[in-house]
Chain A
């Protein structure tokens, strides 16, 4: 009784007919508006990065590209004492190391939770999930003190990437994916063939979980690249250790001042944003579906 499937009579036409043709015009206009709101600030930063410095704040504002792209690049090198490239490299290094270590430790732990049966498994996993409830903000002060007074890592990039290497979100994401995508028989077969436990992870599991590695990889890269507050607290503020967000703040922070080299600042804005856009466009479908799959419970 309860599970009798009620199927619509075949005579009934497909019920929800999507709007077609010109009747969709208002819909397209709305979507066009919303999408341009998303994109316009990106467009403008490119426009401004190509305008002569004095023209960034021209009135009426410029809405089309100007001729000063390379001038602004030179201007940027000047206002950063030639360190702009160094700051870019610092950000890249931080993001890449954070991504590599996070992928390794989270997939390893996620694999263990998905494919092994061990004593305390449920409790340990529940504990990891529970740590996600701690707001990052409460950790700021004591993390700084641990880095400053105990480890002496303040001013070093590792103060930013080491604590997050094995994080709850990543482990959860990996566990969910591995549990649903990998058959246990595969692990057993590898074991019978005499592979070591780590060997199975490295040679069987890792190649098969590339999609979710891409998801977590992009998320981690973007997070590390954008980490402003962490860099601020851990004082990555020397000319040689500065990451792009701090460099941006040094140049363009505070009230809008017309006397600084705005072309150079906009160039730095563009340089900060381009890698993010590239990385994201490269894997946007994967990232979006991977991120939301964790949100919908089955």
Chain B
């Protein structure tokens, strides 16, 4: 009280305090400003549109309220939405299941026996993940070419008939899934590798002392302790594969190839919104797809938490 600071010093001090108190708010504010304009508003707008009939050509304000009609239309089993959802799930399974079945043992082998080369192997396996989807789709389209592609050439060498990789509707899901598998296998290996690294050596040592063999160690130690990482990796796969767009769009064109066998829901929504300009219906479908993704994630969640109670 008695020894007060001289006025200029006091002013500086309080300015410093003031600065210190408000700095964090200023520092985090860009996110919230951007979210308001490019996140929250669009989100609410999209929800609003889902209940309206509207084309952007009509201009703002000229929307017609249709209630749940958009949703009802999409949920009608005759509608293309169902077909595309089936396509998406089927391609997603064809790419996703083998991806994890291959990535986990690969990561385990690298971690067990090739640890010295781990970062080199990770780099090589990770390359497809960072590639441009459009560029790689063109390369694969070339490989898949019916008469002149490398794949059918190789089949010919061993006396097999050529396959219409991108022409036969029953082959299309496999051809698209193969590209997705190729792109994300390394990503999953890397995820599992980092999960394996987090498991302490001591656990394995203790198990060996107790006489557990390699397989037992894998089943009773590695798999359970890897559970959180598996949950994370599965979730990413589900969320990603359900929104599959670029690979089929580039391999097959925006119609999804012959009979639309490669038409995913994301492509269908894109076409409805930006080609047919039916924004309300497209918004409703995007919310339904969101619900589907959410539901699948919940199933994944439940499967994992139930298994964990053992």
Residues on A facing B (Cβ under 8 Å): 6, 8-9, 12, 15-16, 18-19, 24, 27, 30-31, 34-35, 37-39, 41-42, 44-45, 48, 56-61, 105, 108-109, 111-113, 116, 118, 121, 124, 128, 131, 134-146, 148-149, 162-163, 165-168, 171, 191, 194, 196-198, 201, 222, 225-226, 228-229, 232-233, 244-245, 248-249, 252-256, 258, 262, 265-266, 269, 272-273, 276-277, 280-281, 284-285, 288-289, 291-293, 295-297
Interface residues of B in 30-71 (CB under 8 A from A): 30-32, 34-35, 37-39, 41-43, 45-46, 49, 56, 59-60
Q: How large is the interface on B (under 10, 10 to 19, 20 to 34, 35 or more residues)?
A: 35 or more
Q: Kindly supply a per-residue 1/0 record for chain B positions 234-276, scoring 1 wherever the CB is within 8 Å of any chain A CB and 0 otherwise.
A: 0000010011011000100100000000000010011001100
Interface residues of B in 113-148 (CB under 8 A from A): 113-115, 119, 121-128, 130-136, 138-145, 147-148
Known contacts A137-B286, A258-B148: A252-B138 contact under CB 8 Å: yes
CB distance from A21 to the nearest CB of B (A): 12
Taking the complex as formed, is B290 at the interface, i.e. its CB lies under 8 A from any CB of chain A?
Answer: yes
Q: Which residue of A lies closest to B141 (CB)?
A: A256
| Complex CA distance for A252 and B134, rounded to whole angstroms | 9
Which residues on A sit within 8 Å (CB–CB) of B59? 149
CB distance from A257 to the nearest CB of B (A): 10
Which residues on A sit within 8 Å (CB–CB) of B122? 284, 288
Known contacts A60-B153, A295-B229: A109-B27 contact under CB 8 Å: yes
Count contacts between A and B, CB distance < 8 Å.
Answer: 280
Known contacts A59-B153, A269-B139, A273-B135: A197-B209 contact under CB 8 Å: no
Q: Kindly supply a per-residue 1/0 record for chain B positions 1-36, scoring 1 wherever the CB is within 8 Å of any chain A CB and 0 otherwise.
A: 000000000000000100111011101101110110
Known contacts A18-B113, A137-B243, A256-B141: A273-B123 contact under CB 8 Å: no
CB distance from A287 to the nearest CB of B (A): 8
Which residues on A sit within 8 Å (CB–CB) of B223? none
Which residues on B sit within 8 Å (CB–CB) of A116? 23-24, 27
| Complex CA distance for A293 and B133, rounded to whole angstroms | 25
CB distance from A222 to the nearest CB of B (A): 5
| Complex CA distance for A19 and B145, rounded to whole angstroms | 42
* B274 touching A198, Cβ below 8 Å: no
| Complex CA distance for A145 and B22, rounded to whole angstroms | 34
Taking the complex as formed, is B295 at the interface, i.e. its CB lies under 8 A from any CB of chain A?
Answer: no
| Complex CA distance for A266 and B119, rounded to whole angstroms | 30
Which residues on B sit within 8 Å (CB–CB) of A41? 128, 136, 139-140, 143, 182
Taking the complex as formed, is B177 at the interface, i.e. its CB lies under 8 A from any CB of chain A?
Answer: no
For the complex, would chain A's binding face be called helix, strand, loop or mixed by DSSP majority?
Answer: helix
Which residues on B sit within 8 Å (CB–CB) of A131? 35, 39
* A38 touching B246, Cβ below 8 Å: no
Residues on B facing A (Cβ under 8 Å): 16, 19-21, 23-25, 27-28, 30-32, 34-35, 37-39, 41-43, 45-46, 49, 56, 59-60, 106, 109-110, 112-115, 119, 121-128, 130-136, 138-145, 147-150, 153, 166, 182, 185-186, 190-191, 193-195, 198, 204-206, 208-209, 228-229, 232, 239, 242-243, 245-246, 250, 253, 266, 269-270, 273-274, 279, 282-283, 286-287, 289-290, 293
* B23 touching A197, Cβ below 8 Å: yes
Which residues on A sit within 8 Å (CB–CB) of B27? 108-109, 111-112, 116, 201
| Complex CA distance for A143 and B283, rounded to whole angstroms | 12
Taking a contact as CB atoms closer than 8 A, the residue among B19, B45, B114, B126 that contacts A197 in the complex is B19
Taking a contact as CB atoms closer than 8 A, the residue among B34, B153, B290 that contacts A137 in the complex is B290
